[in-house]
Amino acid sequence: MIASTSFLPGGIVCIVMRQEYLDYVAEYKGRLLPMLETLVSRGWVSWEEQSVVPCYSFGKNGMVFVLKLFKSGTLHQEIDLTNFT
């Protein structure tokens, strides 16, 4: 997950992973997508891309998430990233 990190407006965040991780990795399952949606709804970022990559790794599909940053600062100023359940 994203730690306490500072960002500048106009920056890009790119997350690439195997698609199956969204189903069984505890830190991602039911948490990653809601956290990203919260960042979008609070005006921190916008979705630039969300796509599936066939045969990304070991014959399994991957996911690509690309977000554009709008605000500067530290995410922990507005969002407690440890409580997404």
Please indicate whether residue 62 or residue 9 has the higher confidence score (pLDDT).
62
Q: What is the pLDDT of residue 16?
A: 96
Sign of the CA dihedral 18, 20, 24, 30?
A: positive
Please indicate whether residue 16 or residue 9 has the higher confidence score (pLDDT).
16
């599936």: which residue's tokens?
Answer: 52
Domains of the chain by residue range: 6-72
Q: With helix as H, strand as E and coil as C, how does the chain read?
A: CCCCCEECCCCEEEEEEECCHHHHCCCCCCCHHHHHHHHHHCCCEEEEEEEEEEEEECCEEEEEEEEEECCCEEHHHCCCHHHCC
Kindly state the average pLDDT of the residues 44-54. 94
- The model carries a pTM of 0.74
